[in-house]
A and B are shown apart, each in its own frame.
Chain A
Amino acid sequence: KAGVTQTPRYLIKTRGQQVTLSCSPISGHRSVSWYQQTPGQGLQFLFEYFSETQRNKGNFPGRFSGRQFSNSRSEMNVSTLELGDSALYLCASSFRLAGETQYFGPGTRLLVL
């Protein structure tokens, strides 16, 4: 079956702009998690959605937000972009019982100039 897909794959924005990233989970998966990956900080948890509800979130400012639709697709939004938001944004999906394996997408590489 098809894996996790993320669009767009690459994005260039300027400071102050806002951006929306999209994630389509594996068919049947109802949980979507988002992560920010940078060379200095590694993988950092942004938030997790299940059945359109955010169940947990990481320590990111309110500029980072997300949502999940009834078909389990998810979007994350970053407003008022800063240079430090340049990163690879990864999405992972799972059935999301406790301890379920997460299946990762290829990521969206965001560059903020």
Chain B
Amino acid sequence: AQSVSQHNHHVILSEAASLELGCNYSYGGTVNLFWYVQYPGQHLQLLLKYFSGDPLVKGIKGFEAEFIKSKFSFNLRKPSVQWSDTAEYFCAAEGGFKTIFGAGTRLFVKA
């Protein structure tokens, strides 16, 4: 069955700390991978995406993610978080015009 698992439901960090959010997927066939973010009071928006090629992809606001095919993982990273990164982060896998989202990780950054 198709699924996306996010390792942490809640993460609390202090400003300047490094961030890594785990994401594993189970999806038969070709899959495209995404991280979306939802800031408080705003719509879901794309952070970054991976189709093919370089497994290290860079997104907006200093975020990056690494696709490791052998581990079926697509972890999100940021070397130094800011208070404004407080949001909910969703990993998603898309194939066959169907997108499966993970349960989301709520990140709270303390100023």
User: What CA separation (Å) do A3 and B43 show in the bound complex?
Assistant: 10
B71 within 8 A of A: no
Are A56's CB and B43's CB within 8 A? no
B44 within 8 A of A: yes
Residues of A within 8 A of B30 (CB): 98
Are A104's CB and B96's CB within 8 A? no
User: What CA separation (Å) do A41 and B98 show in the bound complex?
Assistant: 17
B72 within 8 A of A: no
Number of chain A residues whose Cβ lies closer than 8 Å to a Cβ of chain B: 28
Q: CB within 8 Å of A: which residues of B?
A: 30, 32, 34, 36, 43-46, 49, 51, 90, 92, 94, 96-104
Give the dominant DSSP class at A's interface. strand
Are A56's CB and B90's CB within 8 A? no
How many A-B Cβ pairs are below 8 Å?
A: 53
Residues of A within 8 A of B45 (CB): 103-104
Are A99's CB and B46's CB within 8 A? no
Residues of A within 8 A of B98 (CB): 45, 48, 56-58
How would residues 39 to 53 of chain A score, 1 for a CB under 8 Å from any chain B CB and 0 otherwise? Answer: 001111100101000
Are A42's CB and B97's CB within 8 A? no
A67 within 8 A of B: no
User: What CA separation (Å) do A106 and B43 show in the bound complex?
Assistant: 6
Are A50's CB and B44's CB within 8 A? no
A23 within 8 A of B: no
Residue of B nearest to A96 (CB): B97
